[in-house]
Structure 1
Amino acid sequence: MIHFLHTADWQIGARFGQFGAEEAALLGEARFEAVERIAALAAQRQVQAVLVAGDVFDQQTVSDRVIRRLFGALAGFSGPWIMIPGNHDAALAESVWTRAAALGCIPPNVQVCLRPTVIELGEGAVLAAPLTQRHTLDDVTAVFDDTATPAGMIRIGLSHGCVAERLPEGIDATNPIAADRCARASLDYLALGDWHGLFRVDERTWYSGTPETDRFTNNESGMLLEVRIAAPGSTPDVTPHRISRYRWQRWEETLSVPSDVERLVARLQPLGQGDVLMLRVEGGIDLGAWRSLERAIDETAARVRALRHDLGGLRFLPTDADLAALGARGGYLANAVARLRAEQEAGDPQERAAATEALLLLARFQQELEGRQ
């Protein structure tokens, strides 16, 4: 019997440029914390090894400090760690891995496979096929077909790439892996990285996904896999474990009446420090509803770990009372409000967005004037 954890796509050193500096730093820190939780789980479950299927690092140019911190985060599990490079940290002649070796920070219990390798592990043998370049049209796992292991050994493949015609449409077709590789190579299990969500190709071929969610996609990310295989030819017993600290969500909302805003505000209220939210809103609402929405977004941004919002598809549709208040001073202001209202109704998308923003600026200006009186 062999018992191990399968994980991948740690993406250590990811920068999260779509967020502010403070938010990005915290999201980056969470990736180190995820590795520490993996080490703790490995020790708790008393596994024989942790298999890491590529993209340990997000890029080749991470700092020496990041490299040292990553290997320090493994300290919670003293058993074997078996790692391979993926497309983000490919085993080039000069790479993040050669820098790590030069720094002397790779612990003795960590084996980094920079070339196709067989590692015996108790009753099993790990057949590792790393990427030695970022993109290839060759199937690096083809080497498994002719790789011999001692008789009676459980055969476990470890690689990084895209299983042909099994992942969702539009996925990069480079670094292809044959869907029937387990059958061709007599593998009992194939541990893969590259796809950032948990994905079962078949009963022997799995993607673990990234252990710390990093995208606004509904793909079962934030997991790792605990795998037991009783004997050669036995069906693997695969148990997912949630590791991710943060829950990333994408919300698409259409608002038409004040009650729509009230429902959205109520939905936002339970969110807290474990949430990362992308909010896109379209439709049309009056001034009171808009102010309620802006206040709710500001309050939510202060509670959650990170919030991105896009109100570009939302139009400001002032009521008669709103329009009267905006044009209350008459003259040029009233004429400007009328022109902006017309552009908001009849202009192209850019003009409508600009007119909406201008009307809101006028409304805020009017509110400030009222507050001073």
Structure 2
Amino acid sequence: MRFIHTADWQIGKPFRQFHERESVLRQARLAAIERIGQFALREGVAHVLVAGDVYDSEQPSPRTLLEPLERMRQFPQVAWHLIPGNHDPHRPRGLWDRLRDHGLPDNVHAHLASEPVALGGEAVLLPAPLTRKSETGDLTRWMDGAPSGPGLLRIGLAHGAIADFGTEGEAGNPIDPARPERAALAYLALGDWHRTVQVSARAWYAGTHEPDRAASQETGTALLVDIPGPLAVPVVTRLETGSYRWLTRDEHVAGAADIDSLDARLRGLGNLSALVLRLRLSGAVSLADRTALDRRLLTLSAALFHLDTDVTKVVARPTEQDLESIDFGGVLRHAADRLQLLARDEARAAGERQLAEDALVELFTRVAGGSGTA
């Protein structure tokens, strides 16, 4: 048995922080479905299992509702198996009923009940669809006693959190990590975590097919699963399905050399136009170096798809040369000296000190950093 395991497409997910580029990331989630279909054709895969959260919300627009169906329709040789997750649970007259009323493509199957489903003559699929956003009980428990024909592989499909069952009733949508053994599953295809995670030899989270948040999965992934026989351990291969990389970097800068090195390393990441970078900086630099840093970051942001920079922990430490560049002894120098004192005054609130430091940097930039006007 060979199939592809994917999850957490969350079609229709908003990316409002990207403003005019929001639509680009929304379209990338649809393009990743096509990439999964292309992998299925290349690998001779007849079934794709989608472990929940096909949609980001319970009330997608009519167009958003149909968009993933049309991507799957393009691959009639492949059977796509979907279950509801916590973002898109199956409720009466909800989105899944809307889909059925509209009509699914012949190759797309929505499994809305906990009952065995034949996958050709090789396996039986045991789905555990969610009917609410949060369940206190384990919806995969029914798999233990689910019937299947002799010699058929038993494959579970579920959406939830592997949890310590000493706390069952408190965690939402808990799944017993021992379910593959308890239910004699050849493989348990999981969704919910947006990282590719191996829980055990027979249980995996696929991760999301296109990254959608910082400090999570860097690249979109689906899993190619090969099961040579009823007792064989699955062979799992990661498939890169995403268009964009989401990286988080923590960096320290203490001068011009560090800024040059940082710029070179970030540019060395490659394919910058498809990179979403969250950059958190710390350190202490002169006003001249801080101005140079801001200019480098502005230039870098033009190269990347998106740059989210946090410089609140980069402290500006004016040198005497910095201050003389503002003014030798006039009103501007007086203002710079006053701002420096305020920025270093530990008796003041952190927000006030930060405001004074920002003003000092702005004063230096306007007077000595290139504009020539205060």
TM-score by length of 1: 0.92
Q: 1:196 touches 1:221 (CA, 8 Å); kept in 2? A: no
How far has the Cα of 1:28 moved from its partner?
A: 1.5
Query: What number of residue pairs does the alignment pair up?
Result: 364
CA distance in 1, matches of 2:98, 2:157: 23
Q: Does 1:13 align with 2:12?
A: yes
How far has the Cα of 1:219 moved from its partner?
A: 4.7
**Structure 2 CA distance for partners of 1:222 and 1:165, relative to 1, 3 Å:** farther
CA distance in 2, matches of 1:162, 1:236: 21
The 5 A counterparts of 1:86-97 are 86-97=85-96
Greater alpha carbon shift after TM alignment, 289-298 vs 29-38: 289-298
Greater alpha carbon shift after TM alignment, 319-328 vs 112-121: 319-328
1:244 to 242, 245, 252: 242
Deviation sequence 1:255-277 (CA, Å, 0-9, x none): 22221111112123235112110
Q: Which residue of 2 aligns with 1:337?
A: 336
Q: 2:125 touches 2:157 (CA, 8 Å); kept in 1? A: yes
Letter in 1 for 2:68: L
Letter in 2 for 1:250: T
CA distance in 2, matches of 1:277, 1:138: 38
Q: 2:325 touches 2:368 (CA, 8 Å); kept in 1? A: no
Q: 2:180 touches 2:186 (CA, 8 Å); kept in 1? A: yes
Q: Which residue of 2 aligns with 1:62?
A: 60
Q: Which residue of 2 aligns with 1:302?
A: 302
The 5 A counterparts of 1:115-154 are 115-122=113-120, 123-154=122-153
Q: Which residue of 2 aligns with 1:169?
A: none
**Structure 2 CA distance for partners of 1:220 and 1:361, relative to 1, 3 Å:** closer
**Structure 2 CA distance for partners of 1:224 and 1:148, relative to 1, 3 Å:** same
CA distance in 1, matches of 2:361, 2:286: 10
Which segments of structure 1 move beyond 6 Å, counting only runs of 4 or more? none
Q: Does 1:349 align with 2:345?
A: no
Q: Does 1:287 align with 2:287?
A: yes
Deviation sequence 1:108-159 (CA, Å, 0-9, x none): 1111011213110121000111111000111000010111111211100000
CA distance in 2, matches of 1:7, 1:238: 12
How far has the Cα of 1:180 moved from its partner?
A: 0.5
CA distance in 1, matches of 2:340, 2:102: 64
Q: Which residue of 1 aligns with 2:315?
A: 315
SS of alignment partner, residue 273 of structure 1? helix
How far has the Cα of 1:372 moved from its partner?
A: 6.7
Gaps of 5+ in 2: none
**Structure 2 CA distance for partners of 1:321 and 1:299, relative to 1, 3 Å:** same
Letter in 1 for 2:195: G
Q: Which residue of 1 aligns with 2:273?
A: 273
CA distance in 2, matches of 1:369, 1:146: 74
How far has the Cα of 1:102 moved from its partner?
A: 3.0
Greater alpha carbon shift after TM alignment, 192-201 vs 63-72: 63-72
Deviation sequence 1:226-252 (CA, Å, 0-9, x none): 112122222112111111211111111
Letter in 1 for 2:281: V
CA distance in 1, matches of 2:230, 2:293: 59
Gaps of 5+ in 1: 167-171
CA distance in 2, matches of 1:220, 1:328: 50
SS of alignment partner, residue 5 of structure 1? strand
CA distance in 2, matches of 1:118, 1:318: 70
Greater alpha carbon shift after TM alignment, 3-12 vs 271-280: 271-280
Deviation sequence 1:35-57 (CA, Å, 0-9, x none): 11001111111112000000111
Deviation sequence 1:262-299 (CA, Å, 0-9, x none): 11121232351121100111222112212221122112
Deviation sequence 1:168-207 (CA, Å, 0-9, x none): xxxx931000010011111111000001111111111111
Letter in 1 for 2:264: A
Letter in 1 for 2:70: G
Greater alpha carbon shift after TM alignment, 223-232 vs 47-56: 223-232
Letter in 2 for 1:266: A
CA RMSD between the two structures: 2.0
Q: 2:190 touches 2:205 (CA, 8 Å); kept in 1? A: yes
How far has the Cα of 1:328 moved from its partner?
A: 3.6
**Structure 2 CA distance for partners of 1:234 and 1:345, relative to 1, 3 Å:** same
**Structure 2 CA distance for partners of 1:142 and 1:369, relative to 1, 3 Å:** closer
Give the percent of matched residue pairs that are identical in Structure 1 and Structure 2. Answer: 37
TM-score by length of 2: 0.92
**Structure 2 CA distance for partners of 1:242 and 1:220, relative to 1, 3 Å:** same
Q: 2:196 touches 2:207 (CA, 8 Å); kept in 1? A: yes
CA distance in 1, matches of 2:23, 2:355: 33
2:69 to 58, 71, 77: 71
Q: Which residue of 2 aligns with 1:233?
A: 231
Q: Which residue of 1 aligns with 2:171?
A: 173
Q: 2:254 touches 2:284 (CA, 8 Å); kept in 1? A: yes
**Structure 2 CA distance for partners of 1:370 and 1:194, relative to 1, 3 Å:** closer
**Structure 2 CA distance for partners of 1:119 and 1:370, relative to 1, 3 Å:** closer
CA distance in 1, matches of 2:259, 2:252: 9
SS of alignment partner, residue 20 of structure 1? helix
